[in-house]
């Protein structure tokens, strides 16, 4: 990307973020927020001639702009909820960013849903109701089997919330874990992930756990949010039909890709 093309793309994203979040991004304090830091890092990468890292970060931000804009077109009040929360602090940014991705996914699929607190989404489907609870997990150290421990930990945390039911699906962003696994051992053993995750969900009454990973698809030159689905043996029939229709078991293979450190 030529410098002039980069500056046009960067300016477009800053302008869109300012509009969506009702923030100017002109003062120093504006760049101390999670999204402000991400915008600043793009320029730092550019000035350091780290163009690949720059373009990855720019793609991540462009995807967030797309998701927030879809939410705005769908429901202005829902955008207001994300606007308040998503750029508030580093600790909660990735969780709310993933919720925004899930909300936009539901919108694109034409699904009737309501944004809640616990669980995060109530979906009306085939005359019934199913629920989606979101989480984003990150690596605390480089120990082996960290993905398994983190999945078990987030399931345990959600069980304590009081909505462990067969019509509740857990949607979990594991991008950061995948990033560190690939950095450490070169690839992710999908069958091992599937086995551990299936064992973990079957020790609960949740209907499903689906793992999501943000990837940069180099072949198609786009940022994607891909997933691996794991149903419990006691999954609610309405939830299963909902997932079968909208989050199928079909695997979308990406052969030439890059993983961001975080979603």
* Residue 234 forms part of a structural domain: yes
What pLDDT, in 10s, does the model give residues 147-174?
888 889 999 999 998 899 999 999 999 9
pLDDT of residue 122: 97
pTM as predicted: 0.92
At 142 the pLDDT is 57
Is 249 found in the same domain as 208?
Answer: yes
Average pLDDT rounded to a whole number, residues 18-45 = 89
pLDDT band at 140 (very low <50, low <70, confident <90, very high): low
94 in the same domain as 62? no
Residue 67 lies in domain? 1-76
**For position 123, what pLDDT does the model report?**
97
Look at residue 140 and tell me if it is in a domain.
yes
Q: Is residue 8 included in any domain, yes or no?
A: yes
Would you say residue 37 has pLDDT above 80?
A: yes
Q: Do the domain assignments include residue 83? A: no
Element at 41 (helix H, strand E): helix 34-47
* pLDDT at site 27: 83
How many secondary structure helices (H) and strands (E) does the chain include? Answer: 9, 7
Q: Of 76, 104, 129, which residue is a domain's last?
A: 76
Confidence band for 128, pLDDT divided at 50, 70 and 90 = very high
- Tally of domains within the chain: 2
């Amino acid at each position: 990307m030529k410098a002039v093309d980069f500056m046009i793309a960067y300016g477009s994203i800053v302008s869109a973020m300012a509009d969506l979040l009702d923030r100017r991004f002109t003062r120093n304090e504006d760049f101390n927020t999670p999204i402000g830091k991400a915008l600043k890092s793009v320029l730092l990468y550019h000035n350091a001639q780290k163009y690949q890292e720059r373009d990855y970060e720019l793609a991540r931000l462009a995807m967030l702009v797309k998701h927030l804009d879809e939410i705005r077109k769908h429901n202005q009040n829902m955008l207001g909820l994300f606007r308040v929360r998503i750029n508030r602090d580093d600790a909660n940014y990735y969780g709310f960013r993933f919720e925004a991705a899930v909300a936009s996914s539901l919108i694109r699929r034409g699904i009737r849903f309501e944004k809640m607190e616990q669980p995060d989404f109530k979906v009306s489907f085939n005359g019934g109701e199913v629920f989606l609870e979101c989480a984003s997990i990150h690596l605390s150290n480089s120990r082996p089997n960290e993905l398994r421990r983190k999945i078990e930990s987030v399931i345990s945390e959600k069980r304590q919330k009081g909505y462990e039911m067969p019509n509740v699906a857990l949607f979990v962003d594991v991008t950061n874990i995948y990033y560190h696994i690939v950095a450490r051992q070169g690839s992710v053993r999908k069958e091992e992930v599937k086995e551990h995750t299936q064992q973990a969900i079957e020790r609960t009454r949740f209907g499903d756990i689906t793992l999501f990973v943000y990837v940069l698809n180099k072949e198609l030159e786009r940022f994607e949010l891909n997933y691996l689905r794991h149903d419990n043996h006691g999954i609610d029939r309405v939830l299963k039909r909902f997932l079968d229709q909208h989050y199928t078991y079909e695997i979308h293979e990406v052969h030439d890709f890059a993983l961001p450190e975080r979603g």
